[in-house]
Structures are given as C-alpha cells and as structure tokens.
Amino acid sequence: MVLLQVMYTDLDFIAAFNIEPAVLHHFLFEVYRRYNNIPFHNFKHCFCVTQMMYGLIWLTDLKSKMDSEDLLIMLTSAVCHDLDHAGYNNAYQINARTELALRYNDISPLENHHCAIAFEILEKTESNIFRNLSMNQYKRIREGIIKCILATDMTRHNDILNKFKSILTAFDFTNKEHREVLMMILIKVSDISNEARPMEVAEPWLDCLLQEFYNQSDVEKLEGLPVTPFMDRDKVNKPSSQTGFIRFVLLPLFIELANLFPCLEQHIIHPVRKALDYYTEMEKALEREKVIRAQ
C-alpha cells in the first residue's frame, strides 16, 4: 500500500484535498483487505492498473490539462475498480442467476459491486479520504468514480471506443463530456494493459487470467451453464487467443489513445506490437509441432 500512498502524495492530492495520511493508509489497507486471493483479479492486479494509470497521467502530462478532481477520480477508480472480484465474470453471474445479478438486474453486476464496495469503504470515517471535501466536490468525485468503474465492463468496450473516436478529431479539454470519455478510455487502457509490460511480466499475467477463466468454465460445465469459448480449457489455444485479443481489442484501443497523445506510441504501442510478434511466433511453433505429431 505504501507505493499507492506515494502516488497520492506525488500527485499533490494530500495537499489539494486535505487528505490525512492516517486516513489514506486506512483506506488503502481496507482496499487491500477487500481484494480476494484469486489468480488474476487480486490486489496485485489493482496495483498494476493503478501504477499504469499513474504512469499515463505523467506521460501524457495530464496534470497540466485536467484539474486535480479528475486526476483523483482516475487514480481512485483504478485502485477500486475490481474490489471483491470473486473470479467469475458477468456472463457467469447472469447465467447462474447469482445474488449480484439479481441485485443489479443483470446490468454490469460485477462493476456495480466493485463500485458499491468502494463507497462502503469510503463511508467509514476512518477510511474516508474524501471527508475534508465540500459536498459539491464529493458529489462530483463520486459521480466520476462511478462512471469510470462502470466503464471497465468489457461488453461496453466498442460503445466507449466509438464515442472516443467520434470526439477525437476536435478533442476539447474544456468540454466535460470529452474529459469523461477520456477518463473512461484511460481506466480501460490501464485495466487491460498487461501486454504493454515486459514479456517476463506480461506472460505470467495471461497464465493467471487463463487459470481464472478455466476455473470458471469448469464450474459452468459442472453446473450445466453455457461455457464461453475463450474460457474453455479444452478449446483455448493460448497464443491464438492472445494474438486475437491484441489485434482486435488492445491495439485499436491503444492506437486511438495515441492519436491524442503521440508520445504513447513508443511507450505502450511499441511493446504491444512486440508482444503480438511473440505470440504469433508461439502460434506458428505450436502449429508446426501439431503437424509433426500428426505425421
């Protein structure tokens, strides 16, 4: 948590929002406690997403383009975005008619839950880092965090990306709606950006993700529920699922963001293109092996 604390300090949130260090520590400890020990959606994932968000804020010089409230919304949303994730995605929640699906009427049940847990923590005085804010500031920050966390539901991926594309040509930092879409894009980029990291860091994350996905599809098979193909251990081909993800999801998203911040080309697009080459090579090696074994 100390590293997360440094990020709040470095971005001058302590001074700007009169956040007491003890309260920040309490908040981050509660967040740490409310993430679960599952292969992928654990506290380490929360840290990676927050660290990526922090890096993007500095790389794009957002401090000079957006006010502190928006930056506080982005960092806090990253910290809280997967709180109490149990390793079963929205499709499972809805198909299995879980308590979450029932409570949130099948509308982004997980993301609604992550956000509700975040504000449960923030309701407690000892961990409410917003307790010295005015009512208006609190309302604005709460609205922003809800929008950002709910935007991490991948079923909304294309809608959010298309909205961003439509405003890109005339992006206006003084336009509230433009800023909101950009904040959603930035938390989405941070959330799925493992492949922008060195391969020795990125590949283990994919193995952890597949572990979580395989665990879910095993349960779905046991419970006679529909199984998502890219989660089925009998169907998933790791390199080809990842080349598909990088080509059709990751690169298009990162390229759009780089249209607004060209410096990101070298920092996140270049490494992802190298990751695509790596998994494409792995795919070919697997194919060759299959041919040899088939003979």
Ligand X SMILES: COc1ccc(NC(=O)[C@H](C)Nc2nc3c(cnn3-c3ccccc3C)c(=O)[nH]2)cc1
Footprint of ligand X (CB under 6 A)? 154, 157, 192, 194-195, 206, 209, 230, 241-242, 245, 249
Is the distance from CB of 149 to CB of 81 less than 8 angstroms?
Answer: yes
Q: Which residue, 32 or 245, is less far from ligand X as judged by CB? A: 245
Closer CB to ligand X, 93 or 241, in the complex? 241
Enter the tokens of residue 217.
């599809």
Contacts of 219 (CB under 8 A, 6+ apart): 88, 92, 225
Least Å distance, CB 33 to ligand X, is 22
Q: Which residue among the candidates 25, 26, 41, 85 is catalytic per the annotation?
A: 41
Q: Which residues of 31-45 are buried (b: 16+ CB within 10 A; e: fewer)?
A: beebbeebbbbbbeb
Nearest to ligand X of 72, 264 (CB atom): 264
CA proximity to 243, closest of 207, 197, 200, 275: 275
- Collapsing DSSP states into helix, strand and coil, what is residue 10? helix
CB of 8 to ligand X, least distance (A): 25
Rounded to whole angstroms, the Cα distance separating 94 from 119 reads 23
| Least spacing, CB of residue 99 vs ligand X, in Å | 21
| Residues 174, 211 contacting (CB under 8 angstroms) | no
CB closer to ligand X out of 24 and 79:
79
Burial per residue of 247-268, b for 16 or more beta-carbon CB atoms within 10 angstroms, e otherwise: eeebbebbebbbeebeebeebb
C-beta of 293: minimal distance to ligand X in Å? Answer: 25
Cβ atoms of 38 and 86 within 8 Å: the answer is yes
Complex with ligand X: residue 101 or 141, whichever CB lies closer: 101
The reply to whether 41 belongs to the active site is yes
The minimum distance between CB 98 and ligand X, in angstroms, equals: 17
Could you list the active site residues? 41
